Amino acid sequence: MYDRFFEEKITSLKNSGQYREYTVINRINGQYPLAHLDGKQDTSVVVWCSNDYLGMSQHQVTTSAMLDSIKKYGAGSGGSRNIGGTHHQCLLLESSIADWHNKEDALIFPTGYGSNDATLQCLLRLMPDCIIFSDELNHASIVNGIRSTKADRTIFKHNDTAQLEKLLAKEPIDRPKIIVFESIYSMDGDIAPISEISNLAKKYNAITYIDEVHAIGMYGPRGAGISAELGIQHEIDIIQGTMAKAIGMIGGYIAGSSALIDCIRSFASGFIFTTSLPPSTVSACYSSIEYLKENNQEREDLHKKTKTLRNALQNAHISIMKSSETHILPILIGDALKCKAAAKLLLVNHGIYLQPINSPTVPVGTERFRVNVTPNHTEKHIEDLVNAMTHVFNELNIPFSDELHKKSA
């Protein structure tokens, strides 16, 4: 009876085009963005959708730090932070992150998802009668952290500060409030109105909580993020980030005042009751961050090649969604089944790996590819991608940007 229920659920997903199929990608050390498909070591594919934005997962400074740490400390951490899992590398990394974001202290978690989920749950349970205001496009980890509590929550339209102010104005000035939002939104590639949100928070006595996971390493002085680029990092109460994207490893963190960080460390069950990151991972994260603080080359290459790719796609009339103003280039397909079919053709016929992004990650009708160039992609890679996408669009009758314009006119 139960298996039948589960099978029906999966069948429904497959029929709608929303079923996720996982492609086994074995990245080749030292040759990023090249990878082998599982069992096919004789040919390589080019990865175009990794969150390893700067290629730091394979940078010598990162891999050397990890190998040295394994030789010294072994593979695992041994336990939770409270029970044997707080090693010296944890303290180094937290100090480095706090310095990066101009905050008093920081706290690291095994994943970025966990840092959002645990921190928001903790805050909403600790603060009596707290209400949280959340952007409608916030990440699933933020949504889950909020939904896991009984706190009042209000969802405001994406990046709509006028609506946000109306919602804030309805609440008593002394009621505890949190505004949670992202600096760069990963599916649309747009940037939040951070200054305006910060000003509203000050006006209506709210805490600001910003998720900078798709910005750190790549924007702002020393790669400290969009809020740092705007010169208002000090105005944000809580900065959340990840080590799984531009830093090239895994893990999440929050940075803020000493009092706030100590509260999360002391009360957040998602932090207290989980095994800590191993010394090798933390050492690699620390080395990557310290490198990115001092070196701009990877950032500059990323932005230069993003501009080259954006221009090449636009010249080929391949539709980049208008929301994009960052290194994230969402290419609209608009149909779940065609998106999956296009991904398969790109992989099998052209040696290009792009993961289809379908509902529920994005709304039905906005299915897309999420393309990210890196410093490691070459001009030949870019040319091959654009030619392959042009061929696949024609083969599957996917509209080009000029055709979309004619339909909307």
Bond preceding residue 33 cis, omega within 30 of 0: yes
CB 226 within 8 Å of CB 213: no
| CA gap 322, 115 in Å, rounded | 31
Strand duo 40-47 + 352-353: pairing: parallel
| CA gap 267, 253 in Å, rounded | 16
Nearest to 192 by CA among 145, 227, 162, 155: 227
Judge whether 245 counts as a catalytic residue.
yes
CA angle, 284 as apex, 353 and 286 as ends, to 5°?
120
Nearest to 53 by CA among 373, 409, 404: 373
| CA gap 42, 69 in Å, rounded | 33
CA angle, 298 as apex, 379 and 327 as ends, to 5°?
70
CB 168 within 8 Å of CB 204: yes
Counting Cβ atoms within 10 Å, is residue 394 exposed (0-12), middle (13-18) or buried (19+)? Answer: exposed
Question: Which residues, 6 or more positions from 281, have their beta carbon under 8 angstroms from its beta carbon?
Answer: 66, 249, 250, 251
Phi/psi-derived region of residue 159, left when phi > 0, alpha when psi is between -120 and 50, beta in every other case: left
| CA gap 289, 223 in Å, rounded | 9
Nearest to 196 by CA among 238, 166, 224, 162: 162
Catalytic choice (103, 245, 338, 340)? 245
Which residues are designated catalytic?
245
